[in-house]
Amino acid sequence: MAHYTREEIMSSSDVVRNFSAVLSSVVQHQREKVAIIRNNRLEAVLVAADVYERLEKAGDIAAAAITTSNSTAGNSSVLLAFLKENRMAAASQLSPMEIECQIREEREAWE
Instruction: Please tell me the predicted confidence (pLDDT) of residue 4.
Output: 83
11 in a structural domain: yes
Q: What are phi and psi of 18, to 5 degrees?
A: -120, 30
User: Do 62 and 40 share a structural domain?
Assistant: no
pLDDT score recorded for residue 52: 85
Instruction: Examine the domain organization and report whether 41 and 56 are in the same domain.
Output: no
Can you give the residue range of the structural domain that contains 25? 6-47
pTM of the model: 0.54
- Give the whole-angstrom CA distance, residue 34 versus residue 28: 13
Q: Verify that 71 and 106 share a domain, yes or no.
A: yes
CA distance to 24, 55, 76, 102, per residue, from 47 (Å): 11, 10, 15, 23
| DSSP-based three-state secondary structure for 89 | coil
Residue 3 pLDDT: 82
Low-confidence spans in the chain with pLDDT less than 70: 1, 60-103, 105-111
How many Cβ atoms from other residues are within 10 Å of residue 65's Cβ?
19
Q: Is residue 87 part of a domain?
A: yes
- Are 73 and 37 found together in one domain? no
Query: Pairing mode, if any, of strands 41-46 and 34-38?
Result: antiparallel
pLDDT at 73: 46
Q: Are residues 54 and 37 in the same domain?
A: no
